[in-house]
């Protein structure tokens, strides 16, 4: 019955044969594949998908667009697109930012070539599940040599009043020598309390010489159990500057991976995470150096409140032949409760001699002397803790190259802390 549902979904959306076949192939492999391994996080009892493919029939919640500016933008609620905004000059240059089915009418061969190249459908059970069951899509394509000055925004809302699984697929293709600044938001909308799953795959293909600034702020609700996979595949001299704010309220496992395929490619990954309540978050950040003189850096800072759990796994892997490669990582966690739990696991896998690599990891609580100093200056404990948290996370946030993203991330942290 489930296989028929997938077939019917493909037919209803007039999917090309290659995409329909990919769905079927992924479906057939789900039961044979294992769950991804996130060190120190047990996923086997999590609700990570109920094996249904469906669309939102109506929208109980629609965002307020009055405050949105005029930069390129795509807004989707559940499986439905509610706003597309792309200036005429970008359209004339061949930029595409829309849902998958609309994009297939414009650039079918480009999508066929790159869909599923950053994350193979048979990598693990959850990758196959997404490929089989994705029901909401977005495609951003920037042709060769196109420089987009304005930030491009993708706002993807999960309707908290809907029981439809939030299975999202985003494909970003930056052409040769192109430049883009992309901001992505995943957020729950409304006050529903339905327990649902989210399986989100974001593929970023940075072709030769392209420069991608990728920022994301994740704010899915406490009733959403999320698997988030963001994958970058970088060609010669390409770069992706990742800035990711993991601010969800429900349980989350995340894979943030960059494959440095080309010589001289560069991935800089910065992650800020906040865990509270009884929330469990497991984050794998990995950079694999295939190309010579490729550079991969990971910087992760997290804060845990109350009974929250946060695990950072930093993995740097230099493949044999990647001479001159550089792999560096730092993971630090600050706990503000005796009941909080955390792990920071640095992993370096070095298969080449002529390289540089290093790591740092730490877990600790707020220094009592810092708190005493701040409170002796008239601050109450809550305000003092907020200042300490902002200072701790600020060392990562200040490294984010886009001011608007820095400001918004600080505001999101303030909003989270004010709910305590």
Query: What is the token pair recorded at 153?
Result: 């925004």
Q: Which residues contact 418 (CB under 8 A, 6 or more apart)?
A: none
Average pLDDT value for residue range 327-333: 95
pLDDT band at 298 (very low <50, low <70, confident <90, very high): very high
Average pLDDT value for residue range 283-301: 97
- Residue of 243, 240, 235, 228 whose CA lies nearest to 264: 235
Query: What is the token pair recorded at 166?
Result: 């939030």
pLDDT of residue 67: 63
User: What is the rounded distance in angstroms from the CA atom of residue 230 to the CA atom of residue 123?
Assistant: 14
pLDDT of residue 56: 77
Q: Average the pLDDT over each of 11-20, 54-63, 289-298, 303-312 and give the range with the smallest value.
A: 54-63
What's the mean per-residue pLDDT of the chain? 91
Query: What is the token pair recorded at 88?
Result: 């005429």
More confident residue, 105 or 396: 105
Average pLDDT value for residue range 18-35: 95
pLDDT of residue 420: 63
User: Each residue of 192-241: pLDDT tens digit?
Assistant: 788 999 999 999 999 999 999 999 999 999 999 999 999 999 999 999 99
The interaxial angle of helices 368-376 and 381-397, nearest 10 deg, is: 120
Q: Which residue in the block uniquely carries the two structure tokens 């894979």? A: 255
- Residue of 189, 184, 219 whose CA lies nearest to 203: 184
Q: Which residues contact 149 (CB under 8 A, 6 or more apart)?
A: none
Q: Which residues contact 58 (CB under 8 A, 6 or more apart)?
A: none
Task: Give φ, ψ of 188 to 5 degrees.
Answer: -85, 140
User: Each residue of 110-122: pLDDT tens digit?
Assistant: 999 999 999 999 9
pLDDT band at 85 (very low <50, low <70, confident <90, very high): very high
| pLDDT for 355 beyond 70 | yes
The string over 21-57, giving b where at least 16 C-beta atoms fall within 10 Å of a residue's C-beta and e elsewhere, is ebbbebbebbeebebbebeebebeebebbeeebbebe
pLDDT band at 344 (very low <50, low <70, confident <90, very high): very high
pLDDT of residue 336: 84
Q: Distances in Å between the alpha carbon of 403 and those of 177, 186, 269, 394?
A: 24, 19, 17, 13
| pLDDT for 125 beyond 90 | yes
Average pLDDT value for residue range 92-108: 98
Inter-residue contact 73 to 85 (CB < 8 Å): yes
Q: How much of the chain, in percent, has pLDDT values that exceed 70? A: 97
User: What is the rounded distance in angstroms from the CA atom of residue 392 to the CA atom of residue 403?
Assistant: 18
| pLDDT for 396 beyond 80 | yes
| pLDDT for 66 beyond 70 | no
More confident residue, 1 or 189: 189
Inter-residue contact 187 to 220 (CB < 8 Å): yes
Task: Give φ, ψ of 380 to 5 degrees.
Answer: -75, 170
User: What is the rounded distance in angstroms from the CA atom of residue 222 to the CA atom of residue 276?
Assistant: 10
């Amino acid at each position: 019955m489930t296989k028929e549902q997938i077939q019917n979904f493909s037919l209803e959306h007039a999917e090309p044969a290659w995409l329909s076949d990919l769905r079927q192939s992924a479906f057939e492999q789900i039961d044979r594949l294992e769950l991804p391994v996130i060190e120190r996080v047990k996923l086997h009892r999590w609700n990570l998908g109920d094996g249904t493919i469906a669309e939102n029939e109506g929208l109980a919640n629609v965002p307020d667009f009055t405050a949105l500016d005029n930069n390129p933008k795509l807004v989707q609620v559940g499986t439905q697109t509610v706003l597309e905004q792309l200036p005429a000059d970008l359209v004339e240059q061949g930029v595409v930012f829309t849902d998958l089915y609309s994009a297939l009418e414009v650039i079918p061969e480009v999508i066929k070539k790159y869909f599923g190249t950053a994350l193979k459908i048979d990598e693990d059970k959850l990758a196959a599940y997404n490929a089989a069951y994705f029901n909401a899509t977005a495609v951003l394509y920037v042709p060769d040599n196109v420089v987009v000055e304005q930030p491009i925004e993708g706002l993807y809302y999960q309707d908290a009043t809907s029981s439809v699984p939030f299975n999202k697929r985003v494909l970003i293709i930056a052409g040769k020598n192109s430049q883009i600044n992309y901001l992505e938001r995943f957020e729950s909308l409304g006050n529903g309390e339905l327990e649902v799953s989210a399986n989100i795959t974001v593929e970023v293909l940075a072709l030769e010489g392209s420069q991608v600034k990728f920022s994301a702020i994740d704010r899915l609700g406490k009733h959403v159990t999320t698997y988030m996979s963001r994958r970058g595949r970088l060609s010669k001299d390409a770069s992706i500057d990742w800035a990711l704010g993991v601010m969800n309220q429900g349980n989350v496992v995340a894979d943030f991976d960059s494959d440095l395929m080309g010589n001289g490619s560069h991935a800089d990954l910065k992650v800020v995470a906040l865990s509270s309540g009884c929330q469990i978050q497991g984050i794998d950040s990995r950079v694999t150096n295939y190309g010579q003189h490729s550079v991969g850096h990971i910087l992760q800072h997290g804060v845990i409140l109350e009974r929250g759990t946060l695990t950072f796994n930093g993995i740097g892997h230099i493949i044999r032949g990647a001479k001159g490669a550089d792999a560096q990582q730092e993971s630090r966690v600050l706990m503000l409760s005796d009941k909080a739990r955390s792990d920071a696991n640095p992993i370096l896998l070095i298969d080449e001699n002529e390289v540089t690599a290093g790591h740092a990891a730490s877990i600790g609580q707020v220094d009592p002397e810092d708190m005493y100093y701040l409170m002796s200056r008239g601050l109450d404990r809550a305000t003092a803790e907020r200042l300490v948290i902002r200072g701790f996370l600020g060392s990562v946030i200040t490294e984010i190259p886009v001011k608007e993203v820095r400001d918004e991330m600080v505001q999101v942290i303030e909003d989270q802390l004010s709910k305590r």
